[in-house]
């Protein structure tokens, strides 16, 4: 079963992708977000959070003082309800952070959108001075994920795309875009 394109962490020529301030002659060529492998930690945390009531509730039900139950059924049901509502909120927040923290490479700019568009940085491709990729650990090497760092001559001195899929491919693409900026071609290989 093929995963929908909108869940990919590296999307070439994304359709229906724009941002405020986009020029009419500008195209979004690459949408980058953290690798889907990075969701593993909060998904495992969510599974542990999901299973915990199955262990805790029987203990709470048996808690008694002088033969009387300490917690009635309404309290236990309320506890379960709020427990799972907080689990839902946690998973939703983590998913939204993963999904909406993106980096866009356009025909003119590099845009970094963090925390649901509360922090947006951009630089022109002509300001890019150096593009570096790194795979910081054996885990990252096994799954081919890593960081891409972009040094610029702009106000924002460095852009860092953390834990992205295929960082060397992203680095090469951005370097090629910078090199071709003056020639006017901007196709994707």
**Tokens 């995963």 identify what position?**
3
Distances (CA, A) of 24 to 17, 19, 21, 107, 142: 13, 11, 9, 11, 41
What would the mean pLDDT of 30-43 be, rounded to a whole number? 93
Residue 189 covered by a domain: no
**Tokens 């495992």 identify what position?**
44
Please check the confidence at residue 14 and state whether its pLDDT lies above 70. Answer: yes
What pLDDT, on the 0 to 100 scale, is given for residue 189? 47
Which tokens belong to 8? 């990919």
Residue 78 covered by a domain: yes
Give 86-143 pLDDT, tens digit per residue. Answer: 999 999 999 999 999 999 999 999 999 887 667 888 899 989 999 999 998 999 999 9
What would the mean pLDDT of 54-78 be, rounded to a whole number? 90
Q: How many residues does the chain have?
A: 189
Classify residue 13 by its DSSP letter: S
Is residue 88 domain-shared with residue 136, that is, in the same domain?
no
What pLDDT, on the 0 to 100 scale, is given for residue 17? 87
What pLDDT, on the 0 to 100 scale, is given for residue 6? 78
Q: Check which CATH number belongs to the domain holding 174 and give it.
A: 2.30.29.30
**Based on C-alpha coordinates, what's the Rg of the chain?**
23
**Tokens 């834990």 identify what position?**
163
Element (H, E) at 50: helix 40-62
Average pLDDT, the chain: 89
What pLDDT, on the 0 to 100 scale, is given for residue 182? 54
Which tokens belong to 145? 């994920």
Give 165-180 pLDDT, tens digit per residue. Answer: 999 999 999 999 998 8
Residue 185 covered by a domain: no
Q: Which of 44, 49, 35 is nearest to 140 (CA)?
A: 35
Please, what is the end-to-end C-alpha distance for the chain in angstroms? 26
pTM of the model: 0.80
Per the structure, how many domains does the chain have?
A: 2
Is residue 119 domain-shared with residue 154, that is, in the same domain?
yes
Q: Which domain holds residue 175?
A: 7-15+27-34+101-180
Within 35-144, residue ranges assigned H as helices are 40-62, 73-100, 138-143
In b/e form, how buried is each residue of 121-132, taking b as 16+ CB within 10 angstroms? Answer: bbbebebbeebe
**Tokens 């427990």 identify what position?**
83
Which tokens belong to 17? 């992708």
Please check the confidence at residue 155 and state whether its pLDDT lies above 80. Answer: no
């Amino acid at each position: 079963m093929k995963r929908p394109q909108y869940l990919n962490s590296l999307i070439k020529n994304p359709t229906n992708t724009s941002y405020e301030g986009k020029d009419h002659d500008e195209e979004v060529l690459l949408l980058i977000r953290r690798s889907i492998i990075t969701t593993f930690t909060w998904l495992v945390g969510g599974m542990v959070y999901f299973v915990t009531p199955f262990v805790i509730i029987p203990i709470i039900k048996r808690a008694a003082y002088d033969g009387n139950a300490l917690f009635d059924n309404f309290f236990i049901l309320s506890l379960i309800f709020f427990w799972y509502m907080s689990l839902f909120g946690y998973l939703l927040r983590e998913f939204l952070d993963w999904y909406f923290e993106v980096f866009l490479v356009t025909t003119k700019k590099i845009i970094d959108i963090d925390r649901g568009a509360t922090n947006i940085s951009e630089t022109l491709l002509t300001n890019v001075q150096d593009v570096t990729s790194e795979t910081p650990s054996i885990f990252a090497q096994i799954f081919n994920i890593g960081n891409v760092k972009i040094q610029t001559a702009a106000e924002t001195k460095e852009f860092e795309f953390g834990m992205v899929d295929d960082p060397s491919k992203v680095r090469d693409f951005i370097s090629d875009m910078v090199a071709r900026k003056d020639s006017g071609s901007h196709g994707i290989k």
